[in-house]
Structure 1
């Protein structure tokens, strides 16, 4: 062990002993001014921000960082998990923050590994999840092209790339680290719309030493209180619109995750019905009489009706992604919009809008008080607006019930009767509810059926990446059960296509002690896209495969995986779920599911979408509505 490593380990022990850098300095256990490498200062800065979990794949572009992390892990300051795929690492870090509120850093080398992680960062960027990404970068002295750099003669190639996804900083000189850390904290811990922050480490600056580095210059994260709107005029205008309205619908997205009580109270005051975004199940209890089901391009009978018929739309914490509002065509009768959002660009998304910019919870509370002062009160008897929406919700429940009560369909692909995907997902979802387990849904038909099925009474255990719809996220995120401080048992709902895109969980889950269950709903098809092709052109093209994969055997080849077959009926599938839940480790259940034209094999499509041959019609409708 060289003297430099001994110094790093001594600092690490002192920092752990004192609970932080500042405390260690102020108590005299370490000098304030020391010779510290760039990567060690980076680790100290991230520790200051509460980042103690690192995961990823090392390469020649990150060995210096790896050495520092090893010293600090030995002292108990942090933990590093080595994985087999950088995209998997990005997905796991995203879910660790989303589900558990724990900020992690993804570590990769330069080149393809960084690009894998960068691709995975799309989910964090789309869903407003603050995570750190640390990539190796090309050297700064220009001695020649580096292996695996972006092969173009341009300064800051990786920096230009990452800035298209969010914010990044190339630590071109050691002393620039302090600014990088401040900018990173402002992004990762942003109270309005956080996202990924990319720290780029040129290979020659990682080990560069800052002589007499001031350890107290290493920044700590700022405390940013949520901001409320002081624009009373906006609340008065919104109140006037509410007084004129006869059919009010509240639609909310990810920015309203903490606003359940306010949304319910507002709905009572306005005689409104509530439509949750696809990933927001449970923010408002599904059993609430004013809560309809999901609305949008996939949507539901009741959710889309509530949006189509509203004369006033209240939008809370949403970007209005295309499928969220049927590519701008869902508010067919809305004369105006009241939009609560932290970002002006989102608050002003629609025409004829009263924009209320700032923290949604604070601003909803302020508007509720204004409404009460203006004489608004909950109605004692159901209005015609509420009655017709309740009828639509009953219709939707019967629609789903019919499919769940007819769970088995003949599928020529399998040459026998198998479970329909809605019935299989519903059985697994209900099982997870009974166990208090988390539910992660992968992109595709599994995700679409999942958010139509979900009927949560509380928020925080059902997660669906509708922001990016990144195939493989749910399977990869099962690793969170090994990383989180207080993990809960988790079921990952994944299609066969999503699993095969990022299958490393069956290896890394065992390696690191994951406890959860991956359910592979196997229809040998990209069913969501196949269905779209059939609806648009009457032809399914290159969205099916003919390779028969025994996923039970594949997963069972990994020692430590509890590989199970889900069978062909609900009873067999439930038995497999029980066996999985009882296993202290990672289980994988494979269940064949139906894919075909029988209407009982799916949960329907109830909205428009600006894709393919539908574009002309949808765009005309969007401009007719004029929102």
Structure 2
């Protein structure tokens, strides 16, 4: 037994559970925890210039590794400023831990107007996390932080929050040294349901496998299932790279849409099936749906013909083993899928200049590099045409679509993968949400290459106002700084390019420099074609 403060218990628990980096901004309520972090030699602290940046960097760390990404902010405005990042982590199923404070214990709930007080601070935290709780006394600290790790890492991974009152962080008690948390195993696939799934699959002539973020650890099993059935695999955002997207059985969404016309079985693995139900919004006649998902509530939200509540890898493995005993391998359909890919790629070349710029980025970015999209014209297009070769290499914001998450998130990705290339793409509007983190990139030498597509507008909003609302423009045109000069004022090298070949040269140089860089790409206002006909295709006639 050792006498430790609440702050020390939390810090040592983070380290015991594999956390090696904490992002954040120190503040008065958190001083005793901040000091405990400062004395924990194996934890790196990266301070940001905005609380939202700290939350997004923790998200980037978690989304690109599957490990816990941790950040700390003061209560009240600090928590609220980082709230968008917690929303992103919740929507994108990332294990992000927020450690925050509260006002003094005896003043909670009294409404006295204390520094950073919220009417219901813990309720606010609980509203944007999978689980959150308060440490009221150091004797509770170990069990509370252990439960936070269990919640984040079991079942469907999502963020958790821990708060402690200002006075509690410095209080001490005798406790055992923190140990790694034991995460409960996932549910075992039900053999009877596996047999039913095999029967459903055996009747299908044209199955489609849709993978999401829940399938990121199931790549080998999904590849085996796809080969056994000669079924194509597609993904929208989170599942990109689960099957390498240059695999003969992989189809990017525009090609998968063409196959969808004759699909008779949709096999969803770790996916909300957003692409089919929210984007395509047209169901082939007689379609049946089989789902494998660790979250049982998914079977209620979108009820399938058969739902297997299981870990994606274990459920798919059980399916493959039973199928292999009763089903002969089907003839290769690689030639059919190659034709669909060729036709879809040719059609998508109409989405200019985004397609050309994205093709250049893919050619320059190493195969094992990370690509962080953004809510922008080029980001929307990337979901349709940017191939990814391994899970977690395409980092997205999930269904929240938070404007401004991209650059900050990319910094967290790079911290987690210092030896890998990391490129973020942003629009001018989104980049300005977190431009201050250029100072963080410079101070900590976080070598992200930020590509800013500057069309002097919130481009999607502007197009909708033009096409749907009689060209009545409201708040969509932007007056921007000189991004090259702005980056250089932070001590970050930058350049401006006008075409895809210029981007090729600039990106090669930037990646070779192994330093933070900004590349501004000039796009005429209104000069980018809409990718939405491919994201929301018209129903077949």
Q: Decide whether the 8 Å contact of 1:304 with 1:330 is kept in 2.
A: no
**Alpha-carbon separation, structure 2, partners of 1:388 and 1:584:** 42
Question: Aligned to 2:191, which of 228, 232, 238?
Answer: 232
**Alpha-carbon separation, structure 2, partners of 1:99 and 1:324:** 25
**Alpha-carbon separation, structure 2, partners of 1:116 and 1:324:** 34
**Alpha-carbon separation, structure 2, partners of 1:426 and 1:553:** 27
Report whether the alignment pairs 1:200 with 2:152. no
Partner residue of 1:159? 122
**Alpha-carbon separation, structure 2, partners of 1:181 and 1:258:** 25
Deviation of 1:94 (Å): 1.1
Partner residue of 1:146? 114
CA gap of 1:326–1:309, structure 2 versus 1, over 3 A, is farther
Deviation of 1:540 (Å): 5.7
Report whether the alignment pairs 1:374 with 2:307. no
Q: Decide whether the 8 Å contact of 2:366 with 2:421 is kept in 1.
A: no
Deviation of 1:487 (Å): 3.5
SS in 2 for 1:451: helix
Question: Aligned to 2:147, which of 161, 183, 199?
Answer: 183
Partner residue of 1:342? 294
Partner residue of 1:88? 53
CA gap of 1:127–1:334, structure 2 versus 1, over 3 A, is farther
1:498-545 deviations in Å (ceiling 9; x for gaps): 110111221110011111211100111222333344554454632522
Gapped runs of 5+ residues in structure 2?
none
Q: Decide whether the 8 Å contact of 1:348 with 1:355 is kept in 2.
A: no
Deviation of 1:291 (Å): 1.7
SS in 1 for 2:297: helix
Gapped runs of 5+ residues in structure 1?
1-31, 295-299, 408-419, 622-627
Q: Decide whether the 8 Å contact of 1:336 with 1:352 is kept in 2.
A: yes
**Alpha-carbon separation, structure 1, partners of 2:445 and 2:305:** 50
**Alpha-carbon separation, structure 1, partners of 2:417 and 2:390:** 21
Partner residue of 2:256? 303
Q: Decide whether the 8 Å contact of 2:33 with 2:169 is kept in 1.
A: yes
Partner residue of 1:430? 363
Report whether the alignment pairs 1:463 with 2:423. no
Partner residue of 1:421? 354
**Alpha-carbon separation, structure 2, partners of 1:138 and 1:84:** 23
Deviation of 1:602 (Å): 4.0
1:589-622 deviations in Å (ceiling 9; x for gaps): 1111245377xx344423549xxxx9xxx9xx9x
Report whether the alignment pairs 1:259 with 2:218. yes
**Alpha-carbon separation, structure 2, partners of 1:272 and 1:538:** 45
Partner residue of 1:17? none
Q: How does 1:508-547 map to 2 (within 5 A)?
A: 508-534=440-466, 536-537=468-469, 539=471, 541-542=473-474, 544-547=476-479
SS in 1 for 2:424: strand
Report whether the alignment pairs 1:290 with 2:222. no
Q: How does 1:541-560 map to 2 (within 5 A)?
A: 541-542=473-474, 544-559=476-491
Q: Which fold has the larger relative contact order, with Cα–Cα distance below 8 Å and residues 6 or more apart in sequence?
A: 2
1:43-78 deviations in Å (ceiling 9; x for gaps): 122222222321111122211212222222xxx232
TM superposition score normalised by structure 2: 0.92
Q: Decide whether the 8 Å contact of 1:562 with 1:583 is kept in 2.
A: no
Question: Aligned to 2:493, which of 555, 562, 565?
Answer: 562
Deviation of 1:129 (Å): 1.0
1:5-39 deviations in Å (ceiling 9; x for gaps): xxxxxxxxxxxxxxxxxxxxxxxxxxx242x2221
1:217-243 deviations in Å (ceiling 9; x for gaps): x453114334331x2221222222222
Deviation of 1:471 (Å): 2.2
Partner residue of 1:399? 347
Q: Which moved more, 1:141-150 or 1:120-129?
A: 141-150
**Alpha-carbon separation, structure 2, partners of 1:506 and 1:172:** 37
Report whether the alignment pairs 1:578 with 2:508. yes
**Alpha-carbon separation, structure 1, partners of 2:428 and 2:400:** 19
Q: Decide whether the 8 Å contact of 2:237 with 2:394 is kept in 1.
A: no
CA gap of 1:348–1:541, structure 2 versus 1, over 3 A, is same
Report whether the alignment pairs 1:221 with 2:181. yes
Partner residue of 2:317? 365
**Alpha-carbon separation, structure 1, partners of 2:467 and 2:215:** 33
1:399-454 deviations in Å (ceiling 9; x for gaps): 23455xxx6xxxxxxxxxxxx233223222321136x5321111232221112221
Partner residue of 1:244? 203
Q: Decide whether the 8 Å contact of 1:326 with 1:607 is kept in 2.
A: no
Partner residue of 2:86? 121
CA gap of 1:292–1:104, structure 2 versus 1, over 3 A, is closer
**Alpha-carbon separation, structure 1, partners of 2:389 and 2:257:** 21
Deviation of 1:573 (Å): 2.2
Partner residue of 1:68? 36
SS in 1 for 2:248: coil
Partner residue of 1:98? 63
SS in 1 for 2:35: helix
**Alpha-carbon separation, structure 2, partners of 1:288 and 1:595:** 37
Question: Aligned to 1:447, which of 360, 368, 379?
Answer: 379
TM superposition score normalised by structure 1: 0.80
**Alpha-carbon separation, structure 1, partners of 2:376 and 2:500:** 22
Partner residue of 2:523? 593
